[in-house]
Amino acid sequence: MNKIQIEDREFEILIENDNICKRTRLIGIQINLDYENRCPLFIGVLNGSFMFMGDLLKEITVSCEVAFIQVSSYSGAKSSGKVKEILGLPDDIHNRDIIIVEDIVDTGLTLSHILKELYKQKPASVKVCSLLLKPAALKEPLEELEYVGFELANDFVVGYGLDYNGLGRNLNDIYRTKTVVPSAS
């Protein structure tokens, strides 16, 4: 399927599942090398990261733990930049090696907020693994951003965990739409 319709909007294919899997495998290999003998704690940011987290973790061979947190800062197809509460933050991350797993880094505001909260507990290290990155949208450099699957233009994307108004998370591939819908909030 090269084109799909979700509600009012038409999307065209951008990254096929095969390519996502190949890239994820390579990231997994790199993480296994970097974290040999270290037992990292992967923290997935819900909801968008659930599919990437599942596929990434299948490639991880080092001993590790997995947790999820949820933040909410996004509505419609434009970043509101407003970060709400962080839910489910583990309270035992002192001296742990943390890998935050994200679906996409856009402005980076969500991540900055998460990082600030994590550092309060003095973890040993924090790195970020994001499937997607929109470099032109990033507000300030994120030195923790160590693993990135694909860099994108400032289009809006759905599929493989990413939603448009709650829909499209189940799609195998990643699709994009050119025009940006005004934010609802």
What are the residues binding ligand 5GP (CB under 6 A)? 48, 73-74, 79, 102-110, 156-158, 162-163
Neighbours of 61 (CB within 10 A): 12
Kindly state the smallest distance separating residue 53's Cβ from ligand 5GP, in Å.
13
User: Is 106 a residue of the active site?
Assistant: yes
Q: Which is nearer to ligand 5GP, 42 or 156 (CB)?
A: 156
Distance from C-alpha of 181 to C-alpha of 45, rounded to nearest angstrom: 24
Q: Which is nearer to ligand 5GP, 32 or 70 (CB)?
A: 70
Burial (Cβ within 10 Å: 0-12, 13-18, ≥19) of residue 1: exposed
**DSSP letter assigned to residue 55:** H
Kindly state the smallest distance separating residue 160's Cβ from ligand 5GP, in Å.
10
Q: Which does 157 bind (CB under 5 to 8 A by kind): Mg ion, ligand 5GP, none?
A: ligand 5GP
Catalytic residue among 106, 155, 163, 173: 106
Burial (Cβ within 10 Å: 0-12, 13-18, ≥19) of residue 154: exposed
Kindly state the smallest distance separating residue 71's Cβ from ligand 5GP, in Å.
8
Single-letter residue type at 94:
H
Q: Which is nearer to ligand 5GP, 24 or 79 (CB)?
A: 79
Coil, helix or strand at residue 26:
helix
- With CB under 5 A as the contact rule, the residue among 50, 148, 163, 176 that binds Mg ion is 163
Q: Are 60 and 31 in contact (CB under 8 A)?
A: yes
Residues belonging to the active site: 106
